[in-house]
Chain A
Amino acid sequence: MIKSIFMKIYVLLTILFLYTPIVVLMVMGFNESRYNSLPFQFSLQWYEDLSQNTRLIEAAEHSFYLALVTGIICVLLATLFILGVQSLSKRTEGLCRSVMMMPMSIPWLIMGLSMLLLIRFIDMDKNLLFVAAGHVVISLPYAMLVLQARLHSIDPALEEMSLSLGAPPLTTFRRITLPAIAPAMVAGGFLSFMISFDNFAISYFLMPAGISTLPIEIQSSIKFGFTPEINAISTIIIGISLLCLAIVGLIMGGSLKNVLGGNK
């Protein structure tokens, strides 16, 4: 009995460690003080300021469109890849898979900087295309893990049956494979969307001057004196992330933890 209470207290403490600073941040967004200091006095001023702050709103728009493009491209590339890779010989398949998973183990700092050097090497200016490419590369492994998890649970006999009953490959794909993997495509898309939306490192190194995303704005306001407007926007970001998580969770169910626990 006492043991069980101790265990519950332990779980509670770790959860508290995980959430306390985030909750404090959210609460301070509703606090009148400019310096995030106590005592607490309720105010919506920072949200009002935020709604006037075109710089932050623009950054949010950039983050959104960049993440949208990244999500769509990642789903397309990941789907094509996992459907195609099985037809390769075992050795080539393994090699191709580890190449695609590579960005998961290399620090984003190195990925971002090496792309920066590439841009300089081919003597071009930084542009949004490179930023998107960088985001795609780092988000792709996650989209692939989600699709892979789903594809494993499909019985290959279904496809074979369809083919042997005379359905052309394209019809088989459209009627059998696609409906089976469609939920994972949506989930993978949202996952890549989120990774791109939250990414700081790649954007920070590759963004052309004058354009920024939300994480970049947060970083620069930390650097040059922060305002509670950042708390307000952070709270909104957390809200958006939770919404995306809920969608991915609904689609993927319990297998989400397999994706996170996969290889990083």
Chain B
Amino acid sequence: MKNNKRVMTLPGMAVLFFCAIVPLFIMLAYSFQSDSGTGFTLENYSRFFTKTFYLTLTLRTIVNSLLVTVISLLLSYPLAYIMAKHLKGLKNIVMVLLIIPFFTNQLVRVYSWLIFLQDGGVFERLMNTLGLVDGTMGLLYTRAAVIIGLIHAFFPYMVITIYMALERLDNSLLEASSCLGASKTTTFFRVVLPMSMPGVITGIMIVFVPCLGTFVEPRILGGVNGTVIGTVIEDQFFEIYGWNFGAAIAFILLAMVLVSMAAINRLGRRYEG
């Protein structure tokens, strides 16, 4: 019986093995070959690490992801807190409203920002009418547009993870804290915030890591100003046909993803137990 059951994991594992693990190793192999000849070479990697263009690009990708993460966090925490502690019946409606965008097409969402932010678009009209901005804003095809699009795509996940952590927080702890004479601010910083840290850490993971690998939002909303590692990899494969170099950059991106996951995990371990 036990052995029979074990066999049932094989189809899934086989699909994963042949369609995810083997391809990654093939990609690794490609990254160590030059476009012209065969044989092992490190030239793709050395090209990446010796050109300032690629290093600036890496820095920009990281800064973008950090900005998106920090702004999402600042936006999410109050929302999650209000949902968990102050909205009673409404919180389920807000939760559904937050989940819906997960099920709307990524490209539809990016496209909607394209229309919304374009010159002469609704946002510009709105700002002009309110008298906040005069004339053209030129917001589309800037880094700001990319960051807005990415925050829009990722912050609901962060709200949900922080909300789940805050909801688990026992209200009697808050009462205990105030009974013992702590002010609201002290209670927040000494009780609420530390107890919600696992949610915050998961949120950071869910936002920062996927941000590193995006290429659709930067390309469409940022144009030439949106260049990040993801868009350069896409160019290498589809415009320049430098597949080996592209594979090397993809591996550098993968390494960045794995390193940041490990770092965030480590950070998270401090708040466990």
A residues whose Cβ falls under 8 Å from a Cβ of B: 4, 7, 10-11, 14-15, 17-22, 24-25, 28, 35-38, 76-78, 80-81, 83-88, 96, 99-100, 102-103, 105-111, 113-118, 120-121, 133-134, 136-137, 140, 169, 194, 197-198, 200-201, 205, 214-215, 218-219, 222, 226, 230-231, 234, 237-238, 241-242, 244-245, 249, 256-258, 260-261, 263-264
> Which residues of A have CB within 8 Å of B107?
198, 200, 215, 218-219, 222
CA A113 to CA B99, docked complex, whole Å: 29
- Which B residue sits closest to A195, measured CB to CB? B103
Give B153-197 as 1s and 0s: 1 = Cβ < 8 Å from A's Cβ atoms. 000110011011000000000000000000000000000000000
> Which residues of B have CB within 8 Å of A78?
12
B132 within 8 A of A: no
> Which residues of A have CB within 8 Å of B215?
109, 201
Tell which of A22, A100, A107, A242 touches B109, judged by Cβ atoms closer than 8 Å: A22
Q: With A7-B82, A113-B246, A264-B206 in contact, is A105–B257 under 8 Å at CB?
A: yes
Tell which of B100, B205, B250, B254 touches A245, judged by Cβ atoms closer than 8 Å: B100
> Which residues of A have CB within 8 Å of B164?
257-258, 261
Asked whether A106 lies within 8 Å of B115 as measured between CB atoms, the reply is no
- Which B residue sits closest to A81, measured CB to CB? B12
Asked whether B99 lies within 8 Å of A257 as measured between CB atoms, the reply is yes
CA A35 to CA B121, docked complex, whole Å: 9
What 5 pairs between A and B have smallest CB-CB spacing?
Answer: A107-B213, A84-B8, A114-B23, A25-B112, A87-B5
Asked whether B111 lies within 8 Å of A136 as measured between CB atoms, the reply is no
CA A258 to CA B246, docked complex, whole Å: 36
Asked whether B105 lies within 8 Å of A215 as measured between CB atoms, the reply is yes
Q: Distance (Å) between the CB of A159 and the closest chain B CB? A: 11
> Which residues of A have CB within 8 Å of B202?
261, 263
Asked whether A222 lies within 8 Å of B114 as measured between CB atoms, the reply is yes
Asked whether A102 lies within 8 Å of B254 as measured between CB atoms, the reply is no
Give B91-106 as 1s and 0s: 1 = Cβ < 8 Å from A's Cβ atoms. 0001111111111111
- Which A residue sits closest to B95, measured CB to CB? A257
> Which residues of B have CB within 8 Å of A109?
213-215, 230, 233-234, 250, 253
Asked whether A140 lies within 8 Å of B12 as measured between CB atoms, the reply is yes
Give B106-144 as 1s and 0s: 1 = Cβ < 8 Å from A's Cβ atoms. 111111111110101110010000000000000000000
Asked whether A11 lies within 8 Å of B157 as measured between CB atoms, the reply is no
Q: Distance (Å) between the CB of B260 and the closest chain A CB? A: 10
B51 within 8 A of A: no
Asked whether B257 lies within 8 Å of A107 as measured between CB atoms, the reply is yes
Q: Distance (Å) between the CB of A191 and the closest chain B CB? A: 9
B32 within 8 A of A: no
Contact residues of B between 1 and 55, Cβ < 8 Å to A: 1-13, 15-17, 19-24, 26-27, 30
Tell which of A24, A84, A99 touches B116, judged by Cβ atoms closer than 8 Å: A24
> Which residues of A have CB within 8 Å of B87?
7, 11
Tell which of B103, B220, B234, B254 touches A106, judged by Cβ atoms closer than 8 Å: B254
Q: With A25-B108, A84-B5 in contact, is A108–B206 under 8 Å at CB?
A: no
B60 within 8 A of A: no
CA A87 to CA B19, docked complex, whole Å: 25
Asked whether A137 lies within 8 Å of B16 as measured between CB atoms, the reply is yes
- Which A residue sits closest to B247, measured CB to CB? A117
CA A261 to CA B110, docked complex, whole Å: 23
- Which B residue sits closest to A135, measured CB to CB? B19
Tell which of B12, B30, B95 touches A100, judged by Cβ atoms closer than 8 Å: B12
B68 within 8 A of A: no
Asked whether B106 lies within 8 Å of A215 as measured between CB atoms, the reply is yes
